[in-house]
Amino acid sequence: MKIDTIELRRIAMPLVSPFRTSFGIQTERDILLVRVTTPEAEGWGECVALLEPVYSSEYVDGAQQVMERFLLPHLFAQGDVNTTDVAPLLAPVQGHRMAKAALEMAVLDAELRLTGRSWAREMGGTVDRVPSGVSVGILDTVPQLLETVQRYVDDGYVRIKLKIEPGWDIEPVAAVRERFGDIPLQVDANAAYTLADAQHLAQLDAFDLLMIEQPLPEDHIRAHAELARTVRTPICLDESIVSAQSCVDAIMMGAVHVVNIKPGRVGGYLEARKIADVCAAHDVPAWCGGMVETGLGRAANAALAANPAFRLPGDISAAARFYARDIVTEPITVEDGHVRVPEGPGLGTMIDQAFLDEVTTSVTTHTG
């Protein structure tokens, strides 16, 4: 395909509930969207980088800057571009996987729409709906936590994930397990612990959890392997898995039993599928993580999760959990604990142009 233009659009999406970070309270998400146009089709991508570099070293302003200064010139210089060309073309620029993933996503969407192929088919999907889990953040009190979990259970989510950190771990997990019985339950530490906390984390074994996600810092692979010999709860890696190769290494070291695959974190959906293939080959369950995406990213994640390597419920919750109104005409919803996998060409979803224009804060258009 010949790329005519690449549009970088910033939007401010109002949040249903404030989002707390170490930098303060956010009432809206600042999101970078990518729109690729060709003579025959257009495609959309979504950059999952956050406002601040708190999940990874990437952040949304930096993602736009690296696209404009370094990544877009590589794409335009190529002339005709297929999706499989994108990663090799951008490889000379080190890192910046979320920025690269957004560009690859937009090119892939355009390519699939042009050829009439669905995202799910391209990702190896075999089902028309996938189970939906939900992530619950750290709250002020245990009663607030129980009330929040009850609401999500009533909404039909089939798995609950609790964020934990030192000082907010054993007691809240015990309270949720006691109140909600054998509901599928897991915890996410976001690298908040060290190997010195191994015996403390072993107390979580009593609660029959699906997994403990990313308990230690992302580069502490050997330490995760040691922790796995101390605790019975399966170890899941998130931030540590940045490529198919890193996934292979972690599996061979015994550092991981379950893999959380986030396409933005690993550089795109093509690499995400490679990681899924690695997991399947090693009989390691995978699941699809979320980054508070709009309907674009949620549609792509639902399609990815239709691949049989994704054996556990992912964080593909209803759009309404975060946004009162989405930028797509058919937002993701949860029915009987599952979300429907989009079936149309490309992402299988259409932009709500009127609302998109309403929340747009800036647009820059680039040509080769």
* Active site amino acids: 163, 262
Residue positions counted in the chain: 368
Q: The tokens 């979803």 sit on which residue?
A: 349
Evaluate whether 327 touches 294 at the Cβ level (below 8 Å): yes
CA–CA separation, 30 and 286 (whole Å): 29
Burial (CB count within 10 angstroms: exposed 0-12, middle 13-18, buried 19+), residue 167: exposed
Name the nearest CA neighbour of 6 among 89, 60, 67: 67
- Structure tokens, 28: 């809206």
CA–CA separation, 138 and 188 (whole Å): 10
Secondary structure, 3-state, the chain: CECCEEEEEEEEEEEEEEEEECCEEEEEEEEEEEEEECCCCEEEEEECCCCCCCCCCCCHHHHHHHHHHHHHHHHHHHCECCHHHHHHHHCCCCCCHHHHHHHHHHHHHHHHHHHCCEHHHHCCCCCCEEEEEEEECCCCCHHHHHHHHHHHHHCCCCEEEEECECCECHHHHHHHHHHHCCCCEEEECCCCCCHHHHHHHHHHHHHCCCCEECCCCCCCHHHHHHHHCCCCCCEEECCCCCCHHHHHHHHHHCCCCEEEECHHHHCCHHHHHHHHHHHHHCCCCEEECCCCCCHHHHHHHHHHCCCCCECCCECCCCHHHCCCCCCECCCCCCECCEEECCCCEECCCCECHHHHHHHEEEEEEEEC
